Structure formats: C-alpha cells, structure tokens
Amino acid sequence: MPKSPEELRSYRWFGPDNMRGFSHRSRMKQCGYRREDFTGKPVIAIVNTWSELNPCHAHLRERAEAVKRGVWQSGGFPVEIPAFSISETYAKPSPMLYRNMLAMEVEEALRSLPIDGAVLMGGCDKTTPGLLMGAISMDLPAIFLPAGPMLRGNWNGKPLGSGTDLWKYWTERCAGTITGEEWVEIEDGIARSPGFCMTMGTAATMTALAEALGFTLPGASSIPAADSNHVRMAMQCGERAVKMVWDDWKPSAFLTMRSFENAVAVDMAIGGSTNAFIHLIAMAGRCGLKLDMRVFDDLATIVPVLADIRPSGRFLMEDFYYAGGLRALMAEMTEFLHLDELTVNGCTIGANVAGAKVINPEVIRPRENPLVESGGTAVLYGSLCPDGAVIKTSAATPKLLQHTGPAVVFRDYNDMDARIHSDDLQVTPDSVLILQNAGPLGGPGMPEWGMLPIPRKLLKDGVRDMVRISDARMSGTAYGTCVLHVSPESFIGGPLALVRDGDLVRLDVDGRRLDLLIADDELARRNAAWVKPEPKFARGYMSLYADRVTQAHQGCDFDFLDGKKPTPEPEIH
Ligand code: FES
C-alpha cells in the first residue's frame, strides 16, 4: 500500500496547523514556494558532494538540476543539500580519515531535516561508501547516482589511465627514460573531463559495487560523466526516488548478506580495488551484517576476472561502457550471482541484467576466455598478519607470489621517503620492503602508501616490482606485488611492528600465508620490549577517530556506528 501524504515524514514538519508548522511553512515560502508545492509531497534531498576542490565531481551541480527535473515531474519536492566532498587528490593526510565523517554527516542530515527520501551523488573514492553508509544507517528511501568516470586520457596518441599511468611514467621519469617536457605533456593529457578516475580504481570499483548491491538504477555506474546519458540517468534517479518514498522502499528492504556476496563476486570479476574489502565490510556492518574477509577469498578462488581494465588489464572505463558496461559483465557471470536479490528499482538483479550483451569481448571477456581464471585478490593469514592481509594478485608479478626474502624496514612514511632512493640502502631485488605505522591509527587513516616506490638504484638495473608489505592501503589504480591492510596494524603493536632489517619474510599466496620467519622466543622478546607510541591527536575529529576507529579487517568504521542500534527520530517541537 503506498503511503498517504499525511504519512510522509516531512508532513510532521509541514503539515500540522500549529506554531511550528507555521514556522516551517513560512520559511519554505521565504524561498518562493507555495504551500502546495512541498506539503504532502515527497521531499527528496539531493545530497550533493560537488566541490571546486573535487574535480571528479565538477559536473554534479548541473546533474543536481537534472535530478530536480525528475523529482518535480514525478510530483515530489527536491531540495539540494551539500555534503563534505572528500577529494581523493586533495584531502590530507588521508581521505580515508573522513569517510566516516561523511557517513555521519549524511545520516544526521537525513535524520534532522524534513526529508522523505534521497538521491546521493558522488563517486570519488570515499564518497561512495561514505554516502551509502550514512543512508543505510538512516534507512530512508535512497538511490545512488554515481558521478561517472572521466573520458580516456591522451598523450602522443596513446590512451592514459588515471593513477596507473601516473605511477608508470613517474617510475620512467625516475629511471631517466622520459624528459621533463614529456612529463608536462602527460600532465596536460591525463585528466581531460569531469568524472572520477577512469581506471578500475577505488572509484570505479565502488560505484560498480553500489550497482551490484542494488543501490543504483541498472547500468548507472558505467556511464561516463561527460555523456548525455548521464544527464538522463540523473533525471531518472529523481523520478525513482519519489516512487520509492511512496512505496517506502528503503535500503533495509533490499540489502541482505546475499547482496553483499553479489558485490564481492562482482569485485572479483572486475579486478576491483582492494579498498573494496574495507568499504564493503563497513557497509555490511551498518546493516548489522558481519562480512568476513574469507568470503572475498572464497569467491576470488572461483570467480574469473572478466574486465580487461587497467591496472589489471589493458582498457579504460570509457571502453568498458562502450563494451556493454556493468550490466553486460554481470550477465556474463550470472552463475556467481544471487539473481533474486532486489534493488532500488524494485526489480531483481537478474531482471536488471537480463538481455544485456557484451559488445566488445576484448574489454569484457567471455567466461571461457577470462583475463585471470580466478584469484584476482587473495586474503592472507600468518604470523605477520594474524587478523589478515590482502594482495591484489591480478596486478602482481606472478613469480613473486611465492617469495622469501630479507626485510628492509621503514619505520614510517617519512623514514621511507628519506631513505628509499639512497645509494646506501642495503637492498637487492629479492628484498622485501616493509612499511610500518601506515595503518588506520598509524597513518593515520591508512593512506595509500602501500605501493612503496622501487629504490632508484634497482630501477636503473631494470627492476620494476618487488614484494612490498604494509598496513597501509593502495590506490586501486596502482599495481605491483604489494601486501596491504596487515592487521592488526603496527601502531597498536601488531607483529608488523616487530620486523627488523634482515629478518626473513615468506609470502606464500598459494598457501594464503604471510609469515615472519623468526623464532617464537625472539618474537616474544621483541613484543615485550615494544613501546606503545603516543596518540597522534589530542583534540577534535581526529581524536574521536583515534579513539573509536576499528581495524582494517573490521572495516575501519567507528565502533559506535556499527550494527542496527536504532537512533530515535527527532521530536518536532
Ligand atoms: Fe577522484 Fe580518483 S581522484 S576518483
């Protein structure tokens, strides 16, 4: 049964014939609206992460107008509200610090204001999980409009990929194989339209997973930001949000553990960013669901990587869209999906992908000719990571996936930055580079430092990859044999804190192990001598973060936001 106008949440603000109702209505009239424009109509918040310091979202002001058009045309009342735009490029010391802050902002904005439903607009890495986590916790009807990837970069007739080609050409510049002039040309050509990074980085991964979870309209995550189809998609989101309010179609109506398993399966098939582990675990936590890292590993062993997109493959997100986009990819992997899971449009995933065709099998590989047969990502356990660690095997050097070598230890990022390119560094291609104090608390915010640079003296000898281990994250656009998210982190005394130069470290991806090869009594001795570092922040949001953030294998959410503990609706006094 659809809701009646009097049952709308916003009616509690705008409907009553009392002093508060008068006040709420008169202030909306102050903006030029008539009483009948907003009273008894679904009030749809367009939660906009537009910012001039977030180029990935440069077009979202215009898109908000298209969303409004859809809301008006469907009999709703649109209101645009800003939310913190966490720019992956500019937010320091780490954008990950602020994901939970955005999630709290969204939840509390939706709760405290006269809002019946929401269209959430974002895409730059942390904005997707931040928006969705807040919306899940508030549990109003909500639909996600991905910002869309930017167009391909271009240099000398060659396509350039965000991040991936930055790392690649920076390495060449360090090796002296490209000139300063060429470097500037690459800078001019690598980001040439609005939209998020167009490799399969965290942004493209998380927007695809939002679609796999059922949080977007079919096909929404693959449309390039600059394409006019993106404008039409924005309008449709506005239309659908109004209908969702009348039907009371909330995240809790369609998000289940099976939705998250769908998202994990799609993450494997797209060769997605390792950051997805942390974000999906946190999002599931907001639903009161415990998503174990072993689910990722189990699905990684059976789901093939089908998307031939950088950094694992050759193409870019614009190519992925022309090849059929996420609907086509999901149609190619239905055997790994729970097709009966529901989505924001009220239809099942199976119905939403039915009939989707792969246009270019080079970009979206057929099931019988995958990019990687299975195991795009692996979860490791062992004496160096009792609570787990992650490696993106599809972006690693195969021969390094079984490797034992002596550790070269950097106690933090600054230490690494100061010494990594020194001629005095005792390092060989067999060394294992270790970065400590780069985790949730140590970074803080698990910065994307996990792809440690290759020491320059080895670069000159042609070395382009080594085993690297840290409690940091890695950009989804990065590549290499990098073990990430080591948990518990070194800053709180995890075994990573106890590694010393020259210790042998064994990486055994086939066996899903990561071990520090020192005697137990020596490990116990170092553990007893370990001194807890001073907290990094004494005040403000950072202090709250430091007190309440969880470890990587738990999703790095705040412990008080996990689960489904109800927060009361505000009294309207
Ligand atoms: Fe925004 Fe990469 S910088 S998605």
**385 is a domain residue:** yes
Is 403 found in the same domain as 283?
no
**Spatial contact of 196 and 124, defined as CB atoms under 8 Å apart:** yes
Q: Is 346 helix (H, G, I), strand (E, B) or coil?
A: coil
Give me the sign of the Cα torsion angle 206, 211, 213, 217.
positive
Is 235 found in the same domain as 303?
yes
Is 310 found in the same domain as 165?
no
Is 386 found in the same domain as 262?
no
**Structural domain range at position 168:** 153-189
Burial class (CB within 10 angstroms; exposed 0-12, middle 13-18, buried 19+) of 52: exposed
Is 395 found in the same domain as 315?
no
CA of 89 to the centre of ligand 1 (A): 6
**564 is a domain residue:** no
Q: What is the pLDDT of residue 535?
A: 84
**3 is a domain residue:** no
**145 is a domain residue:** yes
Is 110 found in the same domain as 137?
yes
* CA R_g for the chain: 24
Q: What is the pLDDT of residue 375?
A: 66
**537 is a domain residue:** no
Q: Write the single-letter amino acid at 552.
A: A
Q: Please report which helix (H) or strand (E) contains residue 121, including its range.
A: strand 117-122
Which residue of 49, 59, 85, 88 sits with most ligand 1 atoms within 8 Å of its CB, as the best mutation to test the pocket?
A: 88
Please state whether the predicted TM-score (pTM) of the whole model is above 0.75.
Answer: yes
Phi, psi angles (nearest 5°) of residue 342:
-85, 165
Longest Cα–Cα distance in the chain: 79
Which residue of 86, 102, 162 sits with most ligand 1 atoms within 8 Å of its CB, as the best mutation to test the pocket?
A: 162
Name every protein residue with a CB atom under 6 angstroms from any ligand 1 atom.
56, 88-89, 124-125, 162, 196-197, 201, 203
**Spatial contact of 328 and 359, defined as CB atoms under 8 Å apart:** yes
CA of 430 to the centre of ligand 1 (A): 33
Q: What is the pLDDT of residue 394?
A: 82
CA of 124 to the centre of ligand 1 (A): 5
Is 200 found in the same domain as 117?
yes
Is 269 found in the same domain as 124?
yes
Q: Give the atom of ligand 1 at the shortest distance from the alpha carbon of 123.
A: 4
**49 is a domain residue:** yes
pLDDT tens digit at each of 573 positions of the chain: 899 999 999 999 999 999 999 999 999 999 999 999 999 999 999 999 999 999 999 999 999 999 999 999 999 999 999 999 999 999 998 899 999 999 999 999 999 999 999 999 999 999 999 999 999 999 999 999 999 999 999 999 999 999 888 888 988 888 888 999 999 999 999 999 999 999 999 999 999 999 999 999 999 999 999 999 999 999 999 999 999 999 999 999 999 999 999 999 999 999 998 999 999 999 999 999 999 999 999 999 999 999 999 988 999 999 999 999 999 999 999 999 999 999 999 999 999 999 999 999 999 999 999 998 876 789 999 999 999 999 998 889 999 999 999 999 999 999 999 999 999 999 999 999 999 999 999 989 999 999 999 999 998 899 999 999 999 998 877 789 999 999 999 999 999 999 999 999 999 999 999 999 999 999 999 999 999 898 888 899 999 999 999 999 999 999 999 776 778 899 887
How many structural domains compose the chain? 3
Domain boundary among 138, 165, 189: 189
CA of 404 to the centre of ligand 1 (A): 35
Under DSSP, the state recorded for 196 is: B
Measure the CA–CA gap between 281 and 292, rounded to whole angstroms: 7
Is 119 found in the same domain as 66?
yes
Is 455 found in the same domain as 496?
yes
Which residue of 51, 89, 126 sits with most ligand 1 atoms within 8 Å of its CB, as the best mutation to test the pocket?
A: 89
Q: Write the single-letter amino acid at 113.
A: L
CATH number for the domain including 464? Answer: 3.50.30.80
Is 132 found in the same domain as 60?
yes
CA of 134 to the centre of ligand 1 (A): 20
Which residue's CA lies nearest to atom 1 of ligand 1? 124
**363 is a domain residue:** no
Q: Please report which helix (H) or strand (E) contains residue 325, including its range.
A: helix 325-332
Nearest to 328 by CA among 301, 296, 352: 352
Measure the CA–CA gap between 493 and 290, rounded to whole angstroms: 25
CATH number for the domain including 345? Answer: 3.40.50.2300
**26 is a domain residue:** no
Q: What is the pLDDT of residue 536?
A: 83
Is 320 found in the same domain as 410?
no
